[in-house]
Structure 1
């Protein structure tokens, strides 16, 4: 048994080495004063200064953050509605159909999704740029957020909403003071997952960006095609560190769902109190 555990741990270590070694290699040479990724000649922060002084790049960073935050917020709101619709579906067949439709964008290849959005926007006459990128990011973020919210709805006992209605709560009060507080960890998890996917997405964004508008992933790809530049390493390092912070934030928010169930009684009672 111990031998099997040792092999499993060794395999896990090898997987992490394969995944993270290229990233740390990239980060290491972002501080190389030699300007290449072959020999480390000395420590420097010049490439980070170059990134921070690049006005065009800063605008692209702002564009990326605006798209990510706005699309994640819209997708999370739509995901709440979608998760409630799936949960309240009475027919098992319709519930499975809704779940299948929700998962289509997750299992479909990004290239197919990007090409489909490009054709759709072209037919609809939507100019490629901010609007097309925003709509596409909302579209592929909704299913991710639904999958984060739906388990919390399924874990919630239906007697909680029944108790709130017996106490005189309206449907709006049941939603805002019972359901939403209980599924709040799932809502935050869905938001951060959608935010991470939006920041990292390249394939779909590459198809729907127009001239004069770009995001970080597309910009990094464009610069990498021009040749090796350690400013790309510095930029990628900053993005990786930011993503790590998002993952840490998601982890701590996800821990909140393990609160004692006695806390649930408070929003139920509050929902029935007339204002």
Structure 2
């Protein structure tokens, strides 16, 4: 057992090193005064200053944040409703069908989803830009929210609902005062996952974005094609830090909500 635990620790260390070494390499050279990623000549914040002086890039950052927040909020509302519909579906065949359709969207390649939306928007005449990107992000975020919320609903004991109904609570009271408070950790998990996916998405956004509107992922790709610049390093570093803040925020929220869940089960 000790040998297995040591092997697991070594294995995890190697995996995390492979995953994070390129990121920390990128962050390290974002402070290089030499302007290249081949030799570190000295510490500087010049690339970050350049980044914040670029008004076009700041608008793109604002666009990305607005799209992420809107898509995460709307997809959370739709996803919670969808998870409730799946969980409380009376017919098992209908429940399995809905769950399978939801899972298909999870495993479908982003290229296919992006191309499908591009064809759809072209046919119905929606101009590529803010609206097309928002609709696409909502579409691929909803299944994620459903998968985050559904286990919490199925974990909840039906006796809690029956007890509330026996005490005279209306269906709305049961939903707002019993079900939603219980599944709040799942709702937060779904929201933060949707927010992260929206911030990081490139493949779908690349298909549905138009002239005059873009997001950070597409802009970083465009900058990288022109040649290696440490502005990309600085921008990627800030994006990585923001994502880490979201993950830490979600961790503390879920940790704070965990004791209340345990009290309910008791």
Equivalence map 1:187-202=2 (5 Å): 187-202=187-202
- Structure-1 residue corresponding to 2:101: 101
Give the SS at the match of 2:193.
Answer: helix
Question: Do the aligned residues in 1 keep the contact of 2:182 with 2:261 (CA within 8 Å)?
Answer: no
Q: Does 1:147 align with 2:143?
A: no
Distance 1:162 1:39 in 2: 68
Give the SS at the match of 1:259.
Answer: helix
Q: Deviations over 1:100-137 (max 9, x none)?
A: 11111110111111101111111111110000000000
Question: Do the aligned residues in 1 keep the contact of 2:149 with 2:190 (CA within 8 Å)?
Answer: yes
Distance 2:79 2:129 in 1: 24
* TM-fit CA distance, 1:260: 4.7
* TM-fit CA distance, 1:32: 0.2
Q: Does 1:138 align with 2:138?
A: yes
* TM-fit CA distance, 1:256: 3.9
Distance 2:258 2:239 in 1: 30
- Output the aligned Cα RMSD: 1.3
Tell me the TM-score normalised to structure 1 length.
Answer: 0.94
Distance 2:108 2:130 in 1: 23
Instruction: State the number of aligned residues.
Output: 265
Check 1:261–1:230 CA distance in 2 against 1; reply closer, same or farther (3 A cut): closer
Give the SS at the match of 2:213.
Answer: coil
Q: Deviations over 1:159-183 (max 9, x none)?
A: 1111111111111111111111111
- Structure-2 residue corresponding to 1:181: 181
- Structure-1 residue corresponding to 2:92: 92
Give the SS at the match of 2:227.
Answer: coil
Q: Which runs of 5+ in 2 are unaligned?
A: none
- Structure-1 residue corresponding to 2:160: 160
- Structure-2 residue corresponding to 1:22: 22
Distance 1:262 1:123 in 2: 51
Bigger CA drift: 94-103 or 250-259?
250-259
Distance 1:28 1:164 in 2: 56
Check 1:112–1:164 CA distance in 2 against 1; reply closer, same or farther (3 A cut): same
Distance 1:201 1:122 in 2: 21
Check 1:35–1:85 CA distance in 2 against 1; reply closer, same or farther (3 A cut): same
* TM-fit CA distance, 1:254: 2.4
Equivalence map 1:223-234=2 (5 Å): 223-234=223-234
Distance 1:259 1:240 in 2: 30
Question: Do the aligned residues in 1 keep the contact of 2:30 with 2:234 (CA within 8 Å)?
Answer: yes
- Structure-1 residue corresponding to 2:113: 113
Question: Do the aligned residues in 2 keep the contact of 1:71 with 1:137 (CA within 8 Å)?
Answer: yes
* TM-fit CA distance, 1:91: 2.1
Q: Deviations over 1:169-212 (max 9, x none)?
A: 11111111111111111111100000000000000000000001
- Structure-2 residue corresponding to 1:8: 8
Question: Do the aligned residues in 2 keep the contact of 1:111 with 1:204 (CA within 8 Å)?
Answer: yes
